[in-house]
Amino acid sequence: MYRDTGDPAGYSIGEPIYDETGGSIPNVVDPGDVRLFVKDGSEALSCDDLDLINGAGAITDKDWIHMKALLEKYKTKTVLEFGAGLSTLLFGSVVDEVHTFESQPGWIKKIKDLADEKKHTFYTWDPTKEFNPPSVLPKRFDFAFVDGPSGGQNREWSTKAAAELADVVIVHDAGREWERKWQAKYLEAGFEGPGKGGHRCHLWVRKELDEKLNPKPVADPGKPTFRMLTTTRGWGGSERSSCQIMDMFKAQGYNIELYPTGVMCGEFATAVERIGGVLVKKWGSWEGECDLAMFYASDTIFNYNKDMYTEAMPRFQAKRKTLMLNYRIGSAGRTEWTKGWDSYGFLSSALRDTFLKIYPDAADICFVQPPPTDLTDFFNIEPNYDGNLRIMCLNSQGDAKHRKDIYAMMKKIWQSNDKANSISCHHLHF
């Protein structure tokens, strides 16, 4: 699969890719050596073809990995698509039927010449008028993909048609202003979502189907309850930590309630499914007092003086509750509802000390510890201790998570060594 890397000659390849003998090839290869079979394996799509159909709005490798997993999960056989492109060919590689509506005849010609005529049907339509399905179109679809026409303001009727004809809907470019408007108008009432995944996709599943395939867990009244409040929109260190904490409390016999501060991305949803039994609830819908609770702050920290928090958090009750300030301080210690927690957690003593200057009353209830991480794979590695000592500094978010003088410390260690060549310092930036 093609991804725009900023270099016209650079391609990132994903499933289903084969060499000309049918064997698999590495994920990143010389573009001239790549062939993608799309017609029963008998014809190939070269990188020149991929370049021909790729555009600024094309799906990325991450989009396709996300969608392909959903196609498999929902046992998809039929796809309704708005907007012809690379996605059209990829859908054809894994499902039985793809019905594609495109407003530009030129795009239809490009894709139709590469598509499997046994699987693909193409239609031209006028997106300025409400969608009127042709009589030959199936009445229902397993899956719909809204990625056209170009310009979010023009996608009202494609979004409406997807909501009416399919049980599972993916909206591409879903975070843009007009796409959000059409999702709210046509999908929110009858679908569960949005589930975030890929680079810019929102997943919507018809409520009846979601309830059938994803029955909601039921709390055990005989068990204590742990509540996790946190962001779920990404899949970084914070989100992995909050999932690990929920998993640990579940292993200790707790009911788990999760209150996301916003949309949930696909990776986080997958982790929640893996944990199992997590009751995912709407922000602010908590009732009564739970046994234990944690607010894993991450980048929500900058909004604590806004209505979403100032109206809901004063009603939050727990026998013991921890505010985990893992990223920045923000208005914590100043905004009233952030005061009076049973404990405050930090990933560094520097961040703790900054907080105590703001809220000294918490001096006896602060703790510093590393994030909860499964180190099994790490301990399974057998390092080679021969050679130089290597000092590594991982920097993914500026200096937010380590001491301000970390580089001076590294330099001092290096300079203090009599054998300068035996120590090397590495700055890893992501």
In terms of DSSP H, where are the helices of 93-236? 105-112, 156-165, 177-186, 207-213
- Give, as one character, the DSSP assignment of residue 34: -
**Is residue 35 domain-resident?**
no
pLDDT at 403: 67
Q: How far is CA 330 from CA 283, 303, 354, in A?
A: 20, 8, 11
Q: What is the CATH number of the domain that holds 314?
A: 3.40.50.2000
Q: Does residue 205 share a domain with residue 76?
A: yes
- What share of residues in the chain are helix, strand, coil (percent, to 5)? 35, 25, 40
**Is residue 364 domain-resident?**
yes
Q: Does residue 275 share a domain with residue 186?
A: no
Q: Does residue 194 share a domain with residue 89?
A: yes
Q: Does residue 364 share a domain with residue 333?
A: yes
Q: Does residue 254 share a domain with residue 206?
A: no
Which helix H or strand E contains 257, and what residues bound it? strand 255-260
In terms of DSSP H, where are the helices of 171-315? 177-186, 207-213, 237-251, 266-275, 307-310
Q: Does residue 238 share a domain with residue 193?
A: no
pLDDT at 29: 30
pLDDT at 209: 85
3-class state of residue 46 by DSSP: strand
3-class state of residue 268 by DSSP: helix
**Is residue 70 domain-resident?**
yes
**Is residue 244 domain-resident?**
yes
Residue 296 contacts residue 323 (beta carbons within 8 Å): no
pLDDT means per 10 residues, the chain with 430 residues, are 29 30 32 37 42 58 89 94 93 95 91 92 92 92 93 91 95 92 94 85 89 78 96 90 96 96 87 92 95 95 92 96 94 95 94 96 95 83 76 62 71 68 60
Q: What is the CATH number of the domain that holds 157?
A: 3.40.50.150
Q: Does residue 312 share a domain with residue 247?
A: yes
pLDDT at 32: 36
**Is residue 219 domain-resident?**
no
3-class state of residue 258 by DSSP: strand
Question: pTM of the predicted model, to two decimals?
Answer: 0.61
Q: Does residue 258 share a domain with residue 193?
A: no
In terms of DSSP H, where are the helices of 166-289? 177-186, 207-213, 237-251, 266-275
Query: Distance (Å, rounded) from C-alpha 166 to C-alpha 193?
Result: 14
Q: Does residue 364 share a domain with residue 229?
A: yes
Residue 36 contacts residue 54 (beta carbons within 8 Å): no
The domain in which residue 352 lies consists of: 225-368
3-class state of residue 329 by DSSP: coil
The tokens describing 89, both together, are: 């060919």
Give the gyration radius of the chain's Cα atoms: 26
Q: Does residue 73 share a domain with residue 176?
A: yes
Beta bridge partners of 212: none
Q: Is 12 buried (19+), middle (13-18) or exposed (0-12) by CB count in 10 A?
A: middle
**Is residue 255 domain-resident?**
yes
**Is residue 422 domain-resident?**
yes
- Total structural domains within the chain: 3
Q: How far is CA 418 from CA 410, 414, 423, 424, in A?
A: 15, 9, 10, 13
Closest CA to 164 of 97, 80, 68, 103: 80
Question: Can you say how many angstroms the Cα of residue 147 is from the centroid of all Cα atoms in its chain?
Answer: 19
Q: Does residue 249 share a domain with residue 154?
A: no
DSSP string, 59-101: PPHHHHHHHHHHHHHTT--EEEEES-SHHHHHHHTTSSEEEEE
**Is residue 44 domain-resident?**
no
